[in-house]
Amino acid sequence: MDSNRHSTGPLAGPPDELALLEEAADRLAARDLDRLSDVVRAERVLVLRRLVDRLDGQWLKELAGVDARGAAGADQDQQVRSTAAWLRGRLRLGAGAATAAARTARALFRGPLTQTAAALTDGTISVAHASVLAHGTRDLPNHLAAEAEPVLVEAAAQLDPPRLRRVIGHLRMVADPDGADAQAERRHQRRGLWLTPTFDGMVAIDGLVESEAGQMVLAALEPLARPTDASDHRSGSQRTADALTELARRNLEAGRLPTTGGVRPQLSVVVDLHSLLGHLGAWAASWVGPAPSTPRPAGGWPATAR
């Protein structure tokens, strides 16, 4: 049996809750969705999402219990370094996801966020909201997190995770201004943008910016990254890459950047009269403007550039 499904052994015998869940999942997979109306299918999507969040809450609850008992690895009678290491090995989670899951489980079911845990398991909030609350209050004293939790849970029921994160940031600023300033400075120092030429002539881009800067970049790219029409088959990532290029091109050609290193290189092409009168064919021209992006013709450009 797949290691991502419950193992035999302790669960063998009469059907328990997990066996019934597997049976329900099998029935869901076998359902002919094409026979359902659009209204029913839309409602099923919403109900399933709520059920998945409730199950995630139950998973975190049981994970917290395993963590508290030091039972990670007991399924294979092994000792492991940590609960996160066990999750990585058995469920093939990434290191960050495994660590975040263990920390969220502890905060909700072994820490101060008891109301958050209840709201998650009853379907009031999603696992994404619960994770934001657990991470955002991690460095606060337990009594402050417990005092603020009712307001935060209410906010989680009304806001999406990014806006909830901003609410928690405001709370941290009020409750612990020195700590919030220090954390903001740490984030500021982590910012960076890295452009690395690849072997095949492209440029790999990677980076990290602060929230406000990221929102400005997204706002600038969004109108340029929209599909041009119904025949635009570029992927979302391709449209974003093209939008970044277009944004840079427009600013360079507008001349609004610093004059040193900020304006697109200009190329002057000078053609002598003899060439202009017939020896250049289609290239017969005298032109001044932005450097063209077309490849250099075989044999060189038919003029003197300066």
Nearest-angstrom CA–CA distance, 109 and 154: 19
pLDDT at residue 282 in the model: 46
Q: How far apart are the first and last CA of the chain?
A: 72
What strands, in cross-sheet order, belong to the sheet with 304-305? 287-290, 266-270, 304-305
Q: Tell me the pLDDT of the chain averaged across its residues.
A: 82
Query: What length does the chain have?
Result: 306
User: Which whole-number Å values give the CA distances from 188 to 178, 209, 215, in the listed order?
Assistant: 15, 8, 15
What does the pLDDT look like over 96-154, one tens digit per residue? 999 999 999 999 999 999 999 999 999 999 999 999 999 989 888 888 888 899 999 99
Share of the chain above pLDDT 90, in %: 50
Per-residue pLDDT tens digits for 154-183: 999 999 998 999 888 888 777 667 666 777
Phi and psi at residue 287, to the nearest 5°: -140, 140
**273 or 29: whose pLDDT is higher?**
29
Q: What is the pLDDT, as a whole number, of residue 15?
A: 55
Q: Tokens at residue 88, please? A: 């990585």
Handedness of CA 286, 287, 291, 292 (dihedral sign): negative
Alpha carbons 223 and 239: distance in angstroms, whole number: 10
Tell me the Cα Rg of the chain.
29
What's the whole-model pTM score?
A: 0.59
